[in-house]
Structures are given as structure tokens and as C-alpha cells.
Amino acid sequence: MKNYYELNEKTVIEYVNNKLDFFAEDAIYECKEIGDGNLNLVFRIRDTKNDKSIIVKQALPYVRAAGEDWPLDINRGEIETRILKLEHDLTGGLVPEVYLFDGDMFCMVMEDLYDYKIMRYGLMDFEQYPKFAEQISDFLVKTLLLTSDVVMEHKKKKDGVKSFINPELCEITEDLVYTEPFHIGARNNVEESIKEYHETQIVNDKELALEVAKLKFDFMNNAQALLHGDLHTGSIFVNQNHTKVIDPEFAFYGPMAYDIGALLANLIMNYISTEARCEDEELKRKHKEYLLQTIKDIVNLFKSKALKLWNEVVTDKMAKTPGFKEFYVNDVLVNTAGVTGCEMVRRTVGFAHVKDLDGIEDDIKRAKAKMDNLNLAKIFIKNRNEITTGEDYLKLIEKYL
């Protein structure tokens, strides 16, 4: 941390120009801190004269949303660049291009995705992205299967596990996703109107706790593939033609289900949000239909693409055994349903919420949406053995929402 200092809207311009030959001599600068996340600083520097721009993301040694008394491993910034470069190669550009990583400043400079929108905000505006399911299923299959023991030389894969060790960020997930929401107190954020529901239906449900405990230890012990680790709709940029995944600072070797489930849960919570927030009945119908189709496609495309890619890339001799790939992918999908449920619970009663639910203005509708979400989440967790196809998701969503 010797040469580290926190950047601001003024110092970041000089900083970038010292490091990179990106802007022209006659540049006219405009700079704004645009970070909306919980953890880091994000600056956009624009040269308005030549219409060029760049993004600088700097890790802070503490949790931004909580302040300096919640310290956090700054090395996550280094992990984030390494995985972005790797994911760029594995997926053929489904993440932004990184121009520079500075290990002294724990900061990176990357492509400005100015003509994209953060998916959560786009979905909250009831926009649809027709190519998303195809592109994100590609991202999932390629980043997950290609970093697993199915494909990688086993000693190389273990080197990967070692080099992507991320204990503090993992601990956040272990606590905030898999532990605290199933108890009273801690850092939970439960609104008054659902406190009783949370206690009676989630905290007091011992069968549920047992299933969540199993999923928690799968998260901690199953070093299956290199995960993004925070794949909610706020970590995805979209437009009508393209998808770019950002913000993989939680990356580590964990269960594939964790990425897929986080994504599905956030789409389901947007579905619930749409039901409560959309006042135009025709648009509501269209958007809900789009979400259902997208959820179904992601699950089914993940399955079919993983099974197909398997044949092309598998190297492990035993993994070629007839029947094994179906067993393996099915196991991923079972746990995916479990993760989906855990993510839905934690975004409702845990520390970090989603705007999709909190943004429902009507108090009664919001409370109902949150209780519906918790109820469906329990079904995903408890019945995950029977939830392995896109159609299985749709049946449950249509039955319980």
C-alpha cells in the first residue's frame, strides 16, 4: 500500500495520462465518479473534443457502502483484472477490454461501455434484450466448463485454484448469502411489514436451514470452476445486440451453480417487480413473457451447450464415460435451483437488497412482492432435486407468483 492513494475526479486524469497514451494533446476533459456499487470507485474520463472516453476502477481498502470500519482485502482489484483478461479470451469478448492494471494503485483502466445499459436498470424500465439468453449462456458455459477439471490439465487447474484464492470476498458471500438471512439480526435489513413473515417462514424453518447448510458447504468446498462470483443483473451491461459482463472481483474457484443461480434469481425478482410496478397492462404482459422465455432459455441453453461443448473439449478419461456428462450437468442444475432460492432470500432480507424489490413504491404491493419472493425461494431450495429444466422454473413461477 506504499504508493497507494485514493483517486478523485481531478487526480485521476493526470494519473491516467502518466500511465497510458490514450488521450490526445488537445483533449478537453470531463470526469465524473459514476460508481453505484457497494465497494469501489469508478471514474469516467471523457475527452469532449475528440469524443473519446475511458473507465478507471479503483479498489478501496474498505467497503464503500459501510465506511472505513469495514476493511476489505484490496487485492480483489488484482483478481478482477486477471479474470477479466481470461474471460475475454474464453468468451471472445463478452467482457470489457482492460487496458491497464496498476498493482500499486489497485486500479484498472478499461473500455467505456457508454452505449450499453446496466441490465437491472434496463429491466426496471421494462426493456427487453432478445439476444441476452443466447449470449449469457455462452458466457456461462465457456467460463465455467473451460476452467473446470473436465477440460483443464489437473495440475494447471489446481494452480488456478491457488491463484484465484479470494478468502475475504468469499466470506462476504458465506455470511451475507448463506448464513445471516436465515437468522435474526446481524447485518440483515428486513422491513417492518415482513419481519414476522421472515421469522416464521424463513428463520424458524429448520428443514430449510438444513438445505441451506448443504448449499453453503457446496459453495465453500466445491472448487469446480472459476466463477464470476457476483453475477447479478447489476454486473451485466446490455443493449439490443450485445452483452458484456463486468465486476468479477468476487471471482474464485467454486460451484458453477453459484453464477447461474445468482443470474436466474435476479431475473425472477425483476418478474416480481414488473408485476407490482408496471402500470401499462400490455407492456407488463410483454415484459413478463420476455422474462419467462429468457429464464427458460438460459437454463435449457446452458444444459444443451454444456453437453455439446463437453464432447469437443473434454480431456479427462473418466469424464468421457457414457452417462457422466449428463450426471455432471444435472448436478450443476440441481444446485443452481438451490442458489437461486438463496439469492432471492438474501436480496429480500439480507444486507444488500435489489432495487427491483425495494423500488416498488406501494407499501402493500412491496410487502406482498417480498413475501411471494421468499415463499418461492423456499420452494427452489427445498425442491431443487426436481428443478433441472427451464420448463421446471416456468411451472413454479406461474404457480406461485
Of 70 and 217, the one with the shorter C-beta distance to ligand ADP is: 70
Three cell numbers written together for 58: 479503483
Which listed option, ligand ADP, Mg ion, none, makes contact with residue 113 (CB within 5 to 8 Å by class)?
ligand ADP
Instruction: Give me 371's grid cell.
Output: 413475501
- CA gap 208, 2 in Å, rounded: 47
The residue (of 78 and 134) whose beta carbon lies closer to Mg ion is 78
CB nearer to Mg ion: give 64 or 286. 64
Return residues touching ligand ADP (CB under 6 A): 34-40, 42, 55, 57, 96, 110-113, 118, 235, 246-247, 249
What's CA 308's distance to the chain center, in Å? 25
Q: Residue 173: which of ligand ADP, Mg ion, none does it interact with, CB under 5 to 8 A by kind?
A: none
Please state the closest distance from residue 246 (CB atom) to ligand ADP, in A: 5
Q: Considering CB distances under 5 to 8 angstroms, the limit depending on partner class, which of ligand ADP, Mg ion, none binds residue 118? A: ligand ADP
Please give the residue whose beta carbon sits closest to ligand ADP in the complex: 37
We find the least distance from the C-beta atom of residue 134 to ligand ADP, in angstroms, to be 22
E-strand ranges in 133-269 read: 225-227, 236-238, 243-245, 252-254
Name the pairing type of β-strands 29-33 and 40-47.
Answer: antiparallel
Burial class (CB in 10 A: 0-12, 13-18, 19+), 389: middle
How many Cα atoms within 13 Å fall on the side-chain side of residue 73?
15
52 makes contact, choosing from Mg ion, ligand ADP, none, with CB < 5 to 8 Å by partner type, with Mg ion
Nearer to ligand ADP, 40 or 373 (CB): 40
Beta bridge pairs of residue 52: 47
- Nearer CB in complex with ligand ADP: 37/160: 37
355 or 368: CB nearest Mg ion: 355
The C-alpha cell at 369 is 412482492
Least gap, CB of 159 to ligand ADP (angstroms)? 26
Query: Which of 242, 288, 271 has the alpha carbon at shortest distance from 130?
Result: 242
Q: Of these partners, ligand ADP, Mg ion, none, which one is at the site of residue 34 (CB under 5 to 8 Å by kind)?
A: ligand ADP
What is the distance, to the nearest Å, from the Cα of residue 279 to the centroid of all Cα atoms in its chain? 28
CA atoms within 13 A on the CB side of 208: 25
Q: 7 vs 190, which CB is nearer to ligand ADP?
A: 7
Decide which of Mg ion, ligand ADP, none touches 35; Cβ closer than 5 to 8 Å per partner kind. Answer: ligand ADP
Q: Which one of Mg ion, ligand ADP, none interacts with residue 111, CB within 5 to 8 A by kind?
A: ligand ADP
Residue ranges in 179-256 assigned as alpha helix (H): 195-197, 206-221
Measured CA to CA, the distance from residue 203 to residue 223 in angstroms comes to 29
The CB-of-54 to Mg ion minimum distance in angstroms stands at 7
SS3 at position 350:
coil
Tell me the residue length of the chain.
401
Closest distance to Mg ion from the beta carbon of 249 (Å): 5
> Where along the sequence are the contacts to Mg ion (CB under 5 A)?
37, 39, 52-53, 247, 249
By the 8 A CB rule, do 244 and 113 touch?
A: yes
CB of 80 to Mg ion, least distance (A): 8
